Structure 1
């Protein structure tokens, strides 16, 4: 299997280098990917960069050149629900853009890009297999809609606006919907794993800096264990 494993930041990628060896650097577009072989799987590990354009550009650069079988996206997110706490793991079941407001442009809903799906649904047999793995390992996780935008959410006002438009959303971050949109058009399954690093409020920046490595480590440990089984 050819698997794209993409994280936004170097702090999150460094955990994988401790487990994957004999890597070969390859450039796709302007993005460097590390190419590994793990249990007869070919792993392409790359940084998406931060934000929607970087995420879409860099994933597209890879998919245009390599016939990837599965995309795995990891990283961190802010919580939008009081029951979703720091260090919780979310296995995303759908994405939308919280900064896409196109309801006056036609028969669209909040979070929908015109002529694109209302929600990017991630249900697939690959995702079901990953869920089964988590259950077998007795790993606690949450599921739900996560919303994406180009702003780091760090105020109660910004958080309240998102919650009003997406009352069902459990988390907020900056890349996921772009990954999902690209995966949708390339017809590739996507497993999206987000570890909660902050609450999306005024303490978000301090919390993010404190927890991003811990959140990245938690996600990496799960993915590495899954790939090695």
Structure 2
């Protein structure tokens, strides 16, 4: 299989560099990917950068040149629910844009872009295989909608505004919906594993600095173990 693993920030990729060795560097568009072979699988590890445009641009660059079988997105997210805590793992079921407001432009709902679905469903056999793997390993995780926007959510006011439009959302971050939109257009399965780094409220900035590297490594470790078991 040909698998891309993409994370927003270098600190979220550190564990992968400890695990994968002897990779070749390849440029796709403006993004450098490291190419490894693990148990017969071609693994492309790259940084998306932060935000929707960076995520869409860099995923599109590699999909336009490599016939990937799977896209894995890991990294961090802020919690939007009282039952979702720092360190929890979230396997996204869907993504939507929390900063897309087009209801006055036509028959659209909050989070929907014209010409696109209201949310991007990630259901696929590959996603089911990963959740089965987590369950066999006894790894606790949560599932649900994650919402995406170009702002770091670091105040309770921001958090409550998002929850008003997306009361069911479990997490918030800055790249996922853009990944999901691109993957849908290329008809490629996307698995998104986010680890909760903060509560998306007034303490988010302090919490993020403390937890991002730790929980990013937690998600990366699981992905590496999953790939190791692939035939």
Specify the TM-score bucket, using the shorter chain as the normaliser.
over 0.9
2:56 corresponds in structure 1 to 56
TM-score by length of 2: 0.99
1:10 corresponds in structure 2 to 10
Question: Structure 2: how far apart are the matches of 1:5 and 1:220?
Answer: 9
2:83 corresponds in structure 1 to 83
| Structure 2: gaps (5+ residues) | none
Deviation at 1:14, TM superposition (A): 1.3
Question: Structure 1: how far apart are the matches of 2:100 and 2:56?
Answer: 16
Question: Structure 1: how far apart are the matches of 2:14 and 2:210?
Answer: 16
2:24 corresponds in structure 1 to 24
RMSD, aligned α-carbons: 0.4
TM-score by length of 1: 0.99
Deviation at 1:31, TM superposition (A): 0.3
Question: Structure 2: how far apart are the matches of 1:33 and 1:217?
Answer: 19
Deviation at 1:129, TM superposition (A): 0.4
Deviation at 1:35, TM superposition (A): 0.2
Deviation at 1:138, TM superposition (A): 0.6
Per the alignment, in what secondary structure is the counterpart of residue 101 of structure 2? coil
2:134 corresponds in structure 1 to 134
2:211 corresponds in structure 1 to 211
Deviates more, 1:100-109 or 1:139-148: 100-109
Per the alignment, in what secondary structure is the counterpart of residue 192 of structure 2? strand
Per the alignment, in what secondary structure is the counterpart of residue 50 of structure 1? coil
Matched, 1:104 2:104: yes
| Structure 1: gaps (5+ residues) | none
Q: How many residues align?
A: 229
Question: Structure 1: how far apart are the matches of 2:108 and 2:222?
Answer: 36
Per the alignment, in what secondary structure is the counterpart of residue 19 of structure 2? coil
